[in-house]
Chain A
Amino acid sequence: MNLFSQAVISGLMLGAVYAFLGIGLVLAYRTARILNLAHGEAFAITGVAAALLVKAGLPLLAALGLSLLIALAFALSLHRFVLRPRADWPAATLILITLGAAFVVRGVLILAGGTDPVSFPALFTGMPLRIAGGVIPMQGIALVLLGFGVSAAVGVYLARTRSGKQLLAAAENPFAAELVGVDVERARLVAYGIGAILGALAGILLIPLIAVDFQSGLAMTLRGFIAAAISGMSPLGVLFSGIGLGLFESMVGAYLGALYQDPVMFFLLILVALWQSRHIRFGGTRRA
Chain B
Amino acid sequence: MKRNLLFLALAAIASAHAQTARPILIGEVAPLTGPAATVGTRLNKASQLWAEEVNAKGGINGRKIELATCNDEGRPDKAAACLRDFQEKGAVMIFGNSLTASLRAMQPLVKNGPLLLIPSPNVVPPADSYAFQVSPSDLHLTEAIAKYMKENGLSKIGMVAATDASGEVGVESAKKVFNDQKMELRLARIDLRATDASTQLASVAGPDIKLVYSSYTGAGAATVVKSFKILGLPQPLMVSYGNMSEAFVNLIKDVAPPRLLGTSVAALVPDQMPAGAERDRARAFFDAYAKRFNEKPDMINLLGRAETDVAEAVLRKTANPSDYPAVKKFLESTPIESFHTQKFSSTNHVGLDASSVMIVELKDGNWIKAQPISSR
Contacts and interface: CB of A to CB of B under 8 A. Distances in A.
A116 B223 CA distance: 14
Nearest to A216: B219
Interface residues of A, number: 46
17 contacts: A1-B205, A6-B198, A9-B198, A10-B196, A10-B199, A128-B231, A134-B198, A134-B202, A135-B198, A135-B232, A136-B230, A137-B230, A211-B222, A219-B193, A254-B203, A258-B194, A259-B163
A212 interface: yes
A136 B189 CA distance: 21
B251 A119 contact: yes
Contacts of B198: 6, 9-10, 134-135
B72 to A, nearest CB: 14
Contact of A115 (B38, B163, B200): B38
A210 B33 contact: no
B222 A119 contact: yes
A221 B223 CA distance: 19
B199 A117 contact: no
B189 A209 contact: no
Nearest to A206: B195
Nearest to B193: A219
A197 interface: no
Contact of A116 (B191, B194, B205, B247): B247
A6 B203 CA distance: 9
A214 B163 CA distance: 21
A257 interface: yes
B196 A257 contact: no
Contact of A1 (B41, B189, B231, B254): B231
B218 interface: yes
A201 interface: no
Given A117-B219, A259-B163, A210 B195 contact: yes
Counting chain A CB atoms within 10 Å of each CB, which of B200, B206, B230, B254 scores highest? B230
A242 to B, nearest CB: 13
B202 A257 contact: no
A6 B205 CA distance: 13
B318 to A, nearest CB: 35
B222 A257 contact: no
B258 interface: no
A144 to B, nearest CB: 12
Of B199, B203, B218, which is in contact with the most chain A CB atoms at under 10 Å from its CB?
B199
A100 interface: no
B190 interface: yes
A135 B219 CA distance: 22
Interface of B: 32-35, 37-38, 40-41, 163, 188-191, 193-196, 198-200, 202-203, 205-206, 218-219, 222-223, 226-227, 230-232, 245, 247, 251, 254
Contacts of A10: 196, 198-199
A136 B198 CA distance: 9
Interface string A237-262: 00000000000001001100111011
A128 B230 contact: yes
A127 to B, nearest CB: 9
Contacts of A206: 195
Contact of B222 (A3, A110, A210, A223): A210
A41 interface: no
B190 A117 contact: no
Contacts of B38: 115-117
Given A7-B202, A219-B193, A254-B202, 7 more contacts: A116-B245, A116-B247, A116-B251, A209-B226, A210-B196, A211-B222, A261-B163
Q: Do most interface residues of chain A lie in helix, strand or loop, or is the interface mixed?
A: helix
Given A3-B199, A7-B199, A215-B35, A258 B189 contact: yes
Interface in A210-235: 210-216, 219, 222-223
A253 B200 contact: yes
A216 B203 CA distance: 27
A226 to B, nearest CB: 11
Contact of B196 (A1, A14, A118, A208): A14
Contacts of A136: 230
A23 B206 CA distance: 38
A135 to B, nearest CB: 5
A25 interface: no
A64 interface: no
Nearest to A262: B191
B202 A1 contact: yes
A258 B163 contact: yes
A211 B224 CA distance: 10
A209 B251 contact: no
Contact of B34 (A3, A118, A215, A262): A215
Contacts of A210: 195-196, 219, 222-223, 226
A17 interface: yes
Given A1-B231, A262-B191, A213 B202 contact: no
A206 B195 CA distance: 8
Nearest to B36: A115
B200 A258 contact: yes
Interface string A108-137: 001000111111010000001000001111
Given A211-B219, A212-B219, A259-B189, A13 B251 contact: no
Nearest to A9: B198
Contacts of A118: 251
Contacts of B188: 257-258
B140 to A, nearest CB: 26
Given A1-B231, A3-B202, A210-B226, A110 B33 contact: yes
A110 B198 CA distance: 29
Given A7-B199, A215-B34, A117 B193 contact: no
A261 B196 contact: no
B223 A115 contact: no
